[in-house]
Amino acid sequence: MVDLQAKVLTVSDRVSDGTREDTGGAAIISRLGDAGFEVVEHRVIADGVDEVINALTYMAYGFNGVIVTTGGTGFSPRDQTPEGTKRVLDRSAPGMAEAMRSANPLGRLSRNVAGIRGGALILNTPGSPSGAVEMLDAVLDALPHAVELMAGKSVHHPNQ
């Protein structure tokens, strides 16, 4: 069994410049804590591909756990979290992203991606607190096993 650790990255121009409260990040941190994850880092950055690349590269370095982003997954011109995330991934996890989008009919408006960098599973969620938690809940039951697999600690599936 591995320790369940998580990091949260809030991607928002308005949160980073202090004109809006980080309700999405707070909701994700709370939900991860309720699920038994220790949130060991929370960062806030402005929107933009380069900002996302830099933050995720740093956050994933030497980390075995889950990194959840909130914000920047929609259709507005500044929503570039998926583009930055794709650039740092070693491998994609399309089943996770698909499950997250299917949690709600409005998920069709999300461009979120999911994948692995090193030992970290990176999941994009929207900036809205309810949407972020709803998407996280769609995959939360699989996250402990995913963390074990990435750490090389599990060779069987939990249902076998």
Instruction: Determine the Cα–Cα distance for residues 67 and 58; give it in Å rounded to an integer.
Output: 11
The CATH fold assigned to 5-150 is Molybdenum Cofactor Biosythetic Enzyme; Chain A (3.40.980)
Domain boundaries, the chain: 5-150
Q: How far apart are CA 119 and CA 97, in angstroms?
A: 18
Place of tokens 């929503």: 79
pLDDT at 158 over 70: no
Contacts of 22 (CB under 8 A, 6+ apart): 10, 12, 15, 44
Q: In which band, very low, low, confident or very high, does the pLDDT at 153 lie, cut at 50, 70 and 90?
A: confident
Which position has the token pair 């011109």?
Answer: 77
Closest CA to 94 of 105, 102, 148, 7: 102
Q: What pLDDT does 2 receive?
A: 81
For residue range 54-96, what is the model confidence (pLDDT) as tens digits?
999 999 999 999 999 999 999 999 999 999 999 999 999 999 9
Starting at the edge strand found earlier in the chain, the sheet holding 120-125 runs 38-45, 5-11, 65-70, 120-125, 114-117, 91-92
Asked if 32 and 39 count as a contact pair (C-beta separation under 8 A), the reply is: yes
Euclidean distance between CA atoms 88 and 6, whole angstroms: 18
Percentage of residues of the chain with pLDDT beyond 90: 89
Q: Which residues contact 74 (CB under 8 A, 6 or more apart)?
A: 109, 110, 111, 126, 127
